A and B are shown apart, each in its own frame.
Chain A
Amino acid sequence: MHDKVDVLIIGSGASGAAVAWSLADTRMRILCVEQGDWVKPTDYPSNGRDWEARLFSDFAINPNRRARPTDYPINDANSPIKVVNFNGVGGSTIMYTAHFPRLHPSDFKVRTLDGVADDWPIDYATLEPFFAENDRMMGVSGLAGDPAYPPKQPPMPPLPLGKSGTRFGKAMNELGWHWWPSDTTIATTDYEGRARCINLGHCTPGCAQGAKASTDITYWPHAIRAGVELRTLCRVREITLDEHGMASGAIYYDAKGEEHFQPAELVILACNGVGTPRLMLNSVSAKFPNGIANSSGLVGKNLMFHPYALNYGYVDEPLDGNHGPPLCLWSQEFYETDPNRDFVRGYAFQFGRGVAAIMEAIVSSAAGRLPWGEDHHRVYRKLLNHRISLSAICEDLPEEHNRVTLDPDLKDSSGIPAPKIDYTISANSHRMMSHGIARAKEILTAAGASSICVESPILNGGWHLLGTARMGTDPERSVVNEWGRCHDVKNLFIVDGSIWVTSGGVNPTSTIQALALYIADSIKQRLADLFD
Chain B
Amino acid sequence: MNNDDLNPEQVRDLRVLAGTIIPPSSSYGVPGADDEKIFNDILRSLERDRDDVCRALAHLATVSGGAFADLEPVRRTEVAAAFRETGGAPLTALVRVVLLCYYRDDRVMRSLGQEPRPPFPKGHVVEQGDWSLLDPVRKRSPMYRVVD
Interface residues of A (CB under 8 A from B): 44, 46-53, 56-57, 65, 67, 104-106, 108-109, 112-113, 123-124, 143, 145, 147-150, 159-163, 165-166, 169-170, 172-173, 178-181, 198-202, 208-209, 320, 323-324, 332, 336, 357-358, 361-362, 365-366, 372-374, 376-377, 381, 384
Interface status of B7 (Cβ within 8 A of chain A):
no
Contact partner of A198 (CB less than 8 A), chosen from B112, B123, B134, B143, is B123
A361, B143: Cβ atoms closer than 8 Å? no
Report the separation of the CA atoms of residues A104 and B127 in the bound assembly, to the nearest whole angstrom.
31
CB neighbours of B133 from chain A (8 A): 161, 166, 169-170, 173
Name the CB-closest residue of B to A353.
B126
Task: Give the residue name and chain of the A residue nearest to B125 (CB).
Answer: A199
Give per-residue flags for B130-148: 1 if the beta carbon is below 8 A from chain A beta carbons, else 0. 1101101110111111110
Say whether A372 contacts B20, CB under 8 Å: yes
Residues in chain A near residue B138, CB distance under 8 A: 145, 147
Q: B114 contacts which of A47, A202, A357 (Cβ < 8 Å)?
A: A357
Segment at the A interface, from B8-16, B25-33, B60-68: B25-33
4 closest Cβ pairs, A-B complex:
A161-B129, A198-B123, A323-B124, A324-B126
With A163-B129, A208-B119 already in contact, 9 other A-B pairs whose C-beta atoms are closer than 8 Å = A47-B118, A52-B103, A104-B144, A104-B145, A147-B141, A166-B133, A169-B129, A198-B122, A357-B114
Task: Give the residues in chain A near B136, CB-CB below 8 Å.
Answer: 173
Main secondary structure on A side of the interface with B: loop
The CB with the most chain A CB atoms within 10 A, among B21, B95, B120, B145, is that of B120
Minimal Cβ-Cβ distance residue in A for B138: A145
Contact status A180-B144, CB under 8 Å: no
Minimum distance in angstroms from A125 CB to a CB of chain B: 8
Q: Is the CB of B147 within 8 A of A49?
A: no
B39: interface (CB < 8 Å): no
In the complex, B109 has a CB within 8 A of chain A = yes
CB pair B109 A357 closer than 8 Å: yes
Nearest to B146 among chain A residues (CB) is A105
Name which residue of chain A comes closest to B132, CB basis: A169
Pick from B109, B120, B126, B141: contact of A209, CB below 8 A. Answer: B120
Q: Does B58 contact A (CB under 8 A)?
A: no
Q: Pick from B47, B112, B134, B142: contact of A169, CB below 8 A.
A: B134
